[in-house]
Amino acid sequence: MGRAFEYRRASKEKRWDKMSKLFPKLAKAITLAAKEGGADPEGNAKLRAAIMNAKAQNLPKDNIEAAIKRASGKDANLSEVIYEAKAQFGVMMIIECATDNPTRTIANIKSYCNKHNAQVIPNGSLEFMFNKKAVFQINPPVGLELDNIELDLIDYGLENLQNQDEGVFLYADYKDFGNLSTALKSLDVEVVHSGLQYIPTSPIELNDSQILELDKLLDKIEDDDDVQNVYTNIN
């Protein structure tokens, strides 16, 4: 989705009021993961990652446990829904939602788009423009060379290792998320953040004025309670 977008996302998370915005989104991610793969983090890599990401944002332990319990409760009607949209300047978006009312969610998304020169498009339209990847940000153990980590993880699906200013990132096919997560744990490699992301195949560049204009739409979408993540083809 482009490093510039990730910086923007990180900055926005810092601005969010944790109790009113970020915490519920983290809890929903935990509930969805537990509903999908079971309530035991040891056997559910996606849940393990959701809990780790939540702890990194200081989500209280009680909230985490409650989110896991909700997955098996009578009211566990939360589901993951994905929408695709086209905005100005050639910007394409994949919008991940966690909702108990898809009718409400799509109505809100369409409303935001209509007000900002964008439109929801049929799912599958952007399939060729994004690759779904497992992404891990890690802190390599002291004394362990990145080349050695890379060699150790290739058999578990690692496709690419990038040493960037803000950290070391590992990329793999989304189907190898569990394998790579287990391998990192066995190697005692600290995972700072992990998850599944949509990476653009041909990212585009926008100038400052275009980004400011697009931000008006992205802010509205991201602030929606049902929206978990927004991925774009912006570099």
Task: Say yes or no: 206 and 119 in one domain.
Answer: yes
pLDDT for the residue numbered 68: 95
Last residue of a domain, one of 50, 70, 90: 70
Task: Say yes or no: 137 and 181 in one domain.
Answer: yes
As a whole number of angstroms, the distance between CA 201 and CA 130 comes to 5
First to last CA, the chain: 7
As a whole number of angstroms, the distance between CA 96 and CA 35 comes to 17
pLDDT for the residue numbered 73: 80
Task: Say yes or no: 214 and 116 in one domain.
Answer: yes
Q: Both tokens of residue 225? A: 């309670």
pLDDT for the residue numbered 75: 61
pLDDT < 50 stretches in the chain: 1-5, 7, 16, 18
Helices and strands in the chain: count of H runs, count of E runs: 8, 8
CATH number at residue 66: 1.10.10.200
Task: Say yes or no: 191 and 216 in one domain.
Answer: no
Q: Which of 223, 217, 226, 135 is nearest to 184 (CA)?
A: 135
Task: Say yes or no: 141 and 186 in one domain.
Answer: yes
Task: Say yes or no: 7 and 63 in one domain.
Answer: yes
Diameter over CA atoms, the chain: 53
Task: Say yes or no: 20 and 38 in one domain.
Answer: yes
pLDDT for the residue numbered 48: 94
pLDDT for the residue numbered 5: 47
CATH number at residue 101: 3.30.70.980
* Domain extent at residue 169: 129-200
Task: Say yes or no: 18 and 47 in one domain.
Answer: yes
Task: Say yes or no: 42 and 89 in one domain.
Answer: no
Task: Say yes or no: 180 and 133 in one domain.
Answer: yes
pLDDT for the residue numbered 3: 45
Last residue of a domain, one of 22, 49, 70: 70
Task: Say yes or no: 215 and 194 in one domain.
Answer: no
User: Regarding beta strands 167-173 and 158-164, do their DSSP bridges make them parallel or antiparallel, or are they unpaired?
Assistant: antiparallel
Number of domain units in the chain: 3
Task: Say yes or no: 207 and 115 in one domain.
Answer: yes
Beta-sheet strands, E only, within the chain: 79-86, 92-99, 119-121, 130-139, 158-164, 167-173, 190-200, 227-232
